[in-house]
Amino acid sequence: MRAIGQDEFGGPEVLRVVEVERPVPGPAEVLVRVRAAGVNPTDSWHRATGGLAGAVIRLGWDVSGVVEAVGLGVTTLAPGDEVFGMPRHPLPAGTYAEYVTSPARHLVRKPAALTHEQAAAMPLAGLTAWQALVDTADVRPGQRVLIHAAAGGVGHLAVQIAKARGAHVIGTARAAKHGFLHSLGADELVDYTEAEFETAVEPVDVVVDAIGGAYGPRSLRALRPGGILVALASPAEARLADIARPLGLRAAFMAVEADQAGMREIAALAEAGLLRPELDTVLPLADAAKAHELADSRRTTGKIVLSVTD
């Protein structure tokens, strides 16, 4: 089968099409014929550095496709089922390929309302947003939620999930993206190039920050007493918990996990018309390097997806 591989760390140019053996599903696994694979910032990080393991891996975690075969003991899925999910994360999955194996319970059935390209844009970013807002922050109706980089891959899905939870949603983004974010349900928007968000809005209950750096301490100043900052940028943000505690605030660094229950919730929101990914760019699998060039620019709106065809 065709897949995307690399022999060294570096920029997008190290990515190339390779021929590898089609994988075989083991016990409790399924073989998925990939129809689309999402591109995420963590993919670029692993391409350039090897991630925490410092090793070359086959890239990609987001997948949408069709079950081709099932391994021993699988009872929840069958050949022909359309599925999507985020297999194995944070271990390598290798979804930039024509076929991929996955633990059966890391996948759920693809909502009929989504194309494979849309579905492939959802798992990692959607689970990150869900686990930040619901599992970590426990967002409730009427709470005020501030989402940084609101037009980004995680951000634009977080806006929709927070709205579905009944929150008053505030986002930071350039003015050119405000119309798009209002269409997703954002109640207030701050152009971070023109105003300091911590003084531009009334205090909030929850902040979701995928930017990091100075945004963490600044976000603490935007919280009301008892509020929580969920930091997503890097493990270094865990230090914010010690800063927040004496202020009567909470802060936590969160890393996304494979989560079938969360995927089912995301699928239900999509089926209900409450959650839709914005596709910035869809490219063929062979153009993975170009997809990474776009991702590395940090100027996209929504998600980049690789379409995998025969």
pLDDT in tens, 272-285: 999 999 999 999 99
The DSSP bridge pattern shows strands 188-190 and 82-85 to be unpaired
Distance of CA 255 to the CA centre of its chain: 11
Q: Does residue 46 carry a pLDDT above 80?
A: yes
Q: Does residue 310 carry a pLDDT above 80?
A: no
Whole-number Å distance between alpha carbons of 77 and 106? 11
For the chain, percent of residues with pLDDT exceeding 90: 97
Best CA proximity match to 95, nearest among 41, 37, 19 = 37
pTM: 0.97
CB neighbour burial string for 32-59, b if at least 16 within 10 angstroms, e if fewer:
bbbbbbbbbbbbbebbeeeeeeeebbbb
Q: Which domains does the chain have, with CATH numbers?
A: 2-122+277-307 (3.90.180.10), 125-253 (3.40.50.720)
Average pLDDT over residues 44-73: 96
User: Mean pLDDT, the chain, as a whole number?
Assistant: 97
Q: Give Cα separations from 121 to 39, 59, 110, 278 (angstroms).
A: 8, 15, 12, 8
Q: Does residue 52 carry a pLDDT above 90?
A: no
Q: Does residue 299 carry a pLDDT above 90?
A: no
Whole-number Å distance between alpha carbons of 45 and 51? 6
CA angle 86, 90, 92 (to 5 degrees): 80
